[in-house]
Amino acid sequence: MALPLTGPAGGNAITFGRIRRYIARNTLQIAGFIFLAVLIVSAVYNLATGIARPHTLLQNFFFGLSTGSIYALIALGYTLVYGILFMINFAHGEVFMAGGYIGYFAIIFANDRGWLEQHTVFALFFTITIAAIFSVLIAVILERVAYRPLRGAPRLVPLITAIGASIALQQLFLRLFGADSRRYPNVHYYIEVPGCQVCKEIPGGAMGLDLVGGIYKVTLFGLDIRLRPIWFIVLFLACSLMIALWFYIQRTKRGKAMRAVAEDKNTAALMGIDVDGIIVTTFVLGAALAGAAAVLFLIIPGNGQATPFIGFFPGIKAFTAAVLGGIGNIPGAAVGGLFLGVIEAVGPPLWNIDHQLKEIIVFGLLILVLILRPTGIFGEILSKRA
C-alpha cells in the first residue's frame, strides 16, 4: 500500500506510486538533468582546483568563436532547406567540400600570378567568389536532379537520396582529383599599426600586423594568451553574411516569397509565386554561404586540408548546430553554431579530456539537447500545416 505524503500546497496527497509513475514517464529528462548537473559541478571543480587553466580557456574561446561562426554559415544551409522542404539535405557537407576544393585551385591560380602577395584582399575575395559559385552550381544540380523529382515522395525517400548524393559527390571528387590532400598556401597580409607592441617590422621600416598568418602574444584580463587576427576577421565576415541573409529574408520581396512558400506551397503558387524558383533560390543561398565558409575555414592556419571527405565532420557538426538552435530557425542556427564552436574548443580543457575526443562533447551535447529540449534552444519555426 502506498504511503501518502502531504504536499506543501493545499495539503494535496502525493503517493510514492505517483512519484514512481512520474519518474518512469520522465526517465530520460531526469537523467539528462543529472548529467548536466555533473558537467557543471565538474567544470566548477576543475576551475577551482586549477586543472582548467583560465588563459587556455580564454584563448580557446576566441578560436571557438571563429570556428563556430563557420559552423553557423553551414548550418544556415540545412535550416533554409528544411524550412522550405522539411527535409535534411545531408549532401550539404559535400557542397561545403566542393567549395573548399575548388577554392584551393582558385587560390593557387591567384598565387601563381602574384595576386596573393601583391593584392591579397582581391585574391582572397576572388577565391571566396569562385568557391561560392561552384558550391552553388553543385547545389542547383542536386536540387534539379536528385530532389525535385522526389518532392511529393514520403519524407524518408529524399533523406536516403541525400545520403546517396553525399557519397556520390565524395567518390566523384576522389576519382577526379585523387586522394591527395590539398593544403592552402600560407597567406600574409600586413597592415601598418603605429606604436604596436606585438607587430613585426615590414618593408619600409614600419611596424605591421599580419592579419591572416600572424599569431601574437597579448595580455587580456590579466592573462597572457596567443591570438590570431584571422579569427576575428572570420567571425566578422561570417556574422556579416548571416546578418545579410536575415535582412534578405525579412526585408526583400524575394525573402517574403520564401517565407510564403515555407508556409504553404500551393497557396503561394496560386498567388503567383514561382515555387520552383524560390526553392532553387533557397539552395543557392545555402550553398553560397557553405562555399564561402569552406574558404574561411581552410584559410585559418592549422585547420586542415582540402580532401574529398573534408565536408563530413563540418557538415555533421553544422547539422548539430542547426538542431541545437532549432531546425528551421535562422537565428537559432547562427547561435547554435557559435555555441557549438565554443563548447568544442573550451570543453576539452574545461573537463580535462584529450582534445582529440572533442567529438564526444559535440555529439554528447546533441543527445543532451534532444533529451531535454527536442525542438532546440530557440525552438523550431515551421508552418502551421507542417
Q: List pLDDT tens digits, range 187-245.
A: 888 888 777 777 777 766 677 788 888 888 888 888 889 999 999 999 999 999 999 99
* pLDDT for position 1: 42
* pLDDT for position 204: 66
Confidence band, pLDDT 50/70/90 cuts, at residue 117: confident
**How far is CA 183 from each of CA 110, 124, 186, 187, 299, rounded to the nearest angstrom?**
15, 15, 9, 12, 9
Q: Could you identify the residue written with the cell 569552406?
A: 294
Residue 5 above 70 pLDDT? Answer: no
* pLDDT for position 4: 47
CB 293 within 8 A of CB 286: no
CB 317 within 8 A of CB 325: no
* pLDDT for position 14: 56
CB 95 within 8 A of CB 138: yes
Q: Of the ranges 3-12, 72-81, 172-181, 279-288, which one carries the lowest mean pLDDT score?
A: 3-12
**What's the whole-model pTM score?**
0.87
* pLDDT for position 16: 74
* pLDDT for position 230: 92
Q: Work out the percent of the chain whose per-residue pLDDT is above 90.
A: 44
- Interval 70-96 mean pLDDT: 91
Q: Could you identify the residue written with the cell 531546425?
A: 327
Cα distance between residue 62 and residue 345, in whole Å: 9
Q: Of the ranges 1-10, 256-265, 351-360, which one carries the lowest mean pLDDT score?
A: 1-10
* pLDDT for position 385: 44
CATH topology of domain 52-372: ABC transporter involved in vitamin B12 uptake, BtuC (1.10.3470)
CB hemisphere CA count around 45 (13 angstroms): 8
Q: Work out the percent of the chain whose per-residue pLDDT is above 70.
A: 92
DSSP 115-156: HHHHSHHHHHHHHHHHHHHHHHHHHHHHIIIIIGGGTTS-TH
DSSP 260-283: HHHH-HHHHHHTT--HHHHHHHHH
- Interval 179-194 mean pLDDT: 86
90 φ, ψ to 5°? Answer: -70, -5
CB hemisphere CA count around 235 (13 angstroms): 18
DSSP 65-98: HHHHHHHHHHHHHHHHHHHHHS---TTHHHHHHH
Tell me the average pLDDT of the chain.
Answer: 86
Q: Which residues pair with 192 in a beta bridge?
A: 208
Q: Report CA 193 to chain centroid distance, whole Å.
A: 33
Cα distance between residue 44 and residue 49, in whole Å: 9
- Interval 91-103 mean pLDDT: 94
Q: Of the ranges 2-11, 356-365, 369-378, which one carries the lowest mean pLDDT score?
A: 2-11
335 φ, ψ to 5°? Answer: -65, -40
Q: Could you identify the residue written with the cell 531535454?
A: 372
Residue 383 above 60 pLDDT? Answer: no
**CA 125-183-201 angle, 5° bins:** 65
Residue 145 above 70 pLDDT? Answer: yes
Give Cβ neighbours of residue 146 (< 8 Å, ≥ 6 apart). Answer: 91, 158, 161, 162, 164, 165
Strands 216-220 and 223-227: antiparallel
* pLDDT for position 208: 79
CB 193 within 8 A of CB 199: yes
Cα distance between residue 235 and residue 67, in whole Å: 8
* pLDDT for position 10: 47
Q: List pLDDT tens digits, range 41-79.
A: 988 988 888 888 888 999 999 999 999 999 999 999 999
Q: List pLDDT tens digits, range 246-297.
A: 999 988 999 999 989 988 888 899 889 999 999 999 999 999 999 999 999 9
128: amino acid identity, one letter: I
Q: Could you identify the residue written with the cell 582558385?
A: 106
Q: Of the ranges 23-37, 162-176, 295-309, 327-341, which one carries the lowest mean pLDDT score?
A: 23-37
Best CA proximity match to 192, nearest among 177, 175, 211, 176: 211
Confidence band, pLDDT 50/70/90 cuts, at residue 106: very high
Confidence band, pLDDT 50/70/90 cuts, at residue 379: low
DSSP 164-197: HHHHHHHHHHHHHH-S--BPPPP---EEE-TT-S
Count of CB atoms situated within 10 Å of the CB of 256 = 13
